[in-house]
């Protein structure tokens, strides 16, 4: 997977607007993709977050494809592309690029930290 660029959904719920304004920037750079198999609205739901701060969700059609891969052990992250803002609207959104992170990359980083 070379990466999929998408606008995230669910940006008007909970604290997502505040969180996008605070963390939705190139200085942060990347966000976690967190499976929510018990989500009552969609068993394929994938939350986009930084720490415990929710920014929104992977769009439903894309989550339907990614969820089985995540459930099978693949790891993905969302990279910042742009914050979607307009002087005519108060709602902000976020565009991200979803990429797979090979497990080996995590192991190499950990081994490097151990010295």
CATH code for the domain of 104: 3.30.70.2330
Q: Which domain holds residue 15?
A: 4-114
Q: What is the pLDDT of residue 102?
A: 82
Distance CA 115, CA 108 (A): 11
Q: What is the pLDDT of residues 19-40, one digit of tens each?
A: 999 999 999 999 999 999 999 9
Cα distances from 62 to residues 46, 57, 58, 75, 110, in angstroms, run 9, 10, 7, 15, 30
Number of domains in the chain: 1
Count of CA atoms in the C-beta half-sphere (13 A) of 25: 7
Task: Give, rounded to a whole angstrom, the gap between the first and last alpha carbons of the chain.
Answer: 31
pTM, two decimals, is 0.86
């Amino acid at each position: 997977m070379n990466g999929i660029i998408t606008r995230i959904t669910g940006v008007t719920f909970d604290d997502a607007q505040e969180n996008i304004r605070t963390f939705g920037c190139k200085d942060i750079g990347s966000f976690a993709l967190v499976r929510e198999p018990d989500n009552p609205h969609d068993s394929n739901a994938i939350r986009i977050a930084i720490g415990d701060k929710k920014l929104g969700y992977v769009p439903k059609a894309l989550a339907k494809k990614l969820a089985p891969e995540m459930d099978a052990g693949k790891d993905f992250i969302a990279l910042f592309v742009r914050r979607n803002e307009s002087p005519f609207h108060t709602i902000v959104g976020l565009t991200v690029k979803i990429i797979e992170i090979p497990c080996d990359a995590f192991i190499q980083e950990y081994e490097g930290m151990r010295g």
